[in-house]
Amino acid sequence: MNMLEVDGVGHTYQGKDGAYTAIDGLSFTVGMGELVCVVGPSGCGKSTLLRSIAGLLRPSRGTVSLHGNRVDGVPSDLSVVFQDYSRSLFPWLSVTRNVEFPLRRLSRSERSTRAGEALDAVGLGGAGKKYPWQLSGGMQQRVAIARALAYRPALLLMDEPFASVDAQTRFELEDLLLRVRREQDTTVLLVTHDIDESVYLGDRVLVLSKSPACVVADLDVPLGSSRDQITTRASEQFVELRARVAGMLQGGPVTVR
């Protein structure tokens, strides 16, 4: 069953110096429980696509459906992890309160149970009383991931979630994401400009063209469910896939399967 259906989505911004089409004719689906990476050159309209799916932006053309319901405004069972964790978290709330914040509709005890579970899942069980600024960047992004997970979304959108942390932390967070989605069976759509990351994380990789973006290729990533930063990245399949994606992003010969 498809969790997400994107059908012919395009968006044109009306600016002072004329119209600018960021994305055009984008169509793809994401199945339940899948982790799909969207990779594209910077400035190709990835964020516009993500905002359209999240219901933060009404696209000029096409439709987005989340488990069969047309997206018109932000769906109640969708969550987003933004790139800029320091701005996305609320600095005046402790880590626990940040995670609990979107759960206002639940009872107090249920809120704290869920927040505790989510923080344990991202390895921050002991940091609940701290304030975000007392944590490193990578840990802050873990808080943002915990907040999104505690919300129990049907679809988790991630907008370049690991682009603002150092390489070592990025590897840790990538493995954390793989582990957590395996444990919780979350459907994830992750937008990135990092080719290696898209291949390492994704069950599928959607390659976008330059702006106005459309889907150039939809690649399966047959690397299995248990991946490892060292052996997976060194495997022949990984190297071959990343070369194909890189070739497509550089506008080389396109081979669509």
Partner 1 sequence: MNRLSGVAQRWVVLVVAVGVWELVTRAARSGDTSISFFFPPPSEIAGAAGRLWFSSAFGDHIVPGVSRMLGGWALAGVIGVALGVLLGRSRGAMAYLGAVFNFLRSIPPPLLVPFFVASVGATSMQLPTIVFGAIWPVLLNTVDGARSVDATKVDTARVFRLSRSQWLVGVVLPSALPKVFAGLRLSLSISLILMVISELVGSANGIGNQLVLAQRDYEPADMWAWIVLLGVLGYLFNTLLLAFERRALAWQPRHSLEAQAIATGG
Instruction: Give residues in contact with partner 1 (CB under 8 A).
Output: 51, 54, 56, 74, 76, 78-80, 82, 84, 87-88, 90-93, 101-102, 104, 131, 133, 151
Q: How far is CA 231 from CA 92, 180, 199, 224, 228, in A?
A: 42, 20, 14, 13, 6
Min CB(51)–partner 1 separation in Å: 8
* Amino acid, single-letter form, for residue 24: D
Closer of 131 and 171 to partner 1 (Cβ): 131
Closer of 18 and 73 to partner 1 (Cβ): 73
Min CB(147)–partner 1 separation in Å: 8
Nearest to 66 by CA among 149, 150, 6, 148: 6
Q: Are 132 and 54 in contact (CB under 8 A)?
A: no
Closer of 74 and 234 to partner 1 (Cβ): 74
In the numeric block, the tokens 């959607």 are attached to 206
Min CB(143)–partner 1 separation in Å: 12
Min CB(58)–partner 1 separation in Å: 13
Closer of 80 and 214 to partner 1 (Cβ): 80
Q: Is 56 left (phi over 0), alpha (psi -120 to 50) or beta?
A: alpha
Residue 192, H or E segment: strand 187-192
Min CB(161)–partner 1 separation in Å: 13
Min CB(128)–partner 1 separation in Å: 15
Closer of 28 and 151 to partner 1 (Cβ): 151
Closer of 189 and 223 to partner 1 (Cβ): 189
210-222 residues labelled b (16+ CB within 10 A) or e (exposed): ebbbbbbbebebe
Q: Are 219 and 244 in contact (CB under 8 A)?
A: yes
Q: Is 195 helix (H, G, I), strand (E, B) or coil?
A: helix
Q: How far is CA 123 from CA 127, 145, 176, 188, 218, in A?
A: 9, 11, 9, 20, 33
Min CB(190)–partner 1 separation in Å: 16
Strand order in the sheet with 61-66: 18-31, 2-15, 61-66, 69-70
Closer of 164 and 232 to partner 1 (Cβ): 164
Residue 234, H or E segment: helix 231-234
